[in-house]
Amino acid sequence: MTDIGRFQVTQDPQDFGAFKTPTLRNVALTAPYMHDGSLPTLKDVVRFYNRGGIPNPNLDPAIGALGLTEREEDDLVEFLKALTSPEYEAVAGAGAR
């Protein structure tokens, strides 16, 4: 792990590899994803979490592979897109996509 997360700020060992979780509102308009921009699409993010993320010493034990089917992954991506505010789209226009 090269990015030490909140530990850089707090120096608390429990914060090593921890990152702020942003809101999901308008998430379809905020690519690339992850704290380092390493995943270009929402589908990539859903696949990443469906596999259970990347095992590391600070991964919450509640995180694990989800076992979603391809169709369920697609449905989840569509749900995330539905969290886009119509008002935001109207103001931002097509340039925000």
Residue ranges covered by each domain of the chain: 20-96
pLDDT at position 91, please?
59
pLDDT at position 92, please?
60
Per-residue pLDDT reduced to its tens digit, 68-92: 999 999 999 999 999 998 876 665 6
CA–CA dist 90, 68 (Å, integer): 33
CA–CA dist 36, 56 (Å, integer): 17
CA–CA dist 57, 79 (Å, integer): 31
Per-residue pLDDT reduced to its tens digit, 27-71: 999 999 998 899 999 999 999 999 999 888 878 888 899 999 999
CA nearest neighbour of 50 among 33, 69, 65, 34: 65
CATH class, range 20-96: mainly alpha
pTM, to two decimals: 0.71
Residue 39 in 3-state DSSP? Answer: strand
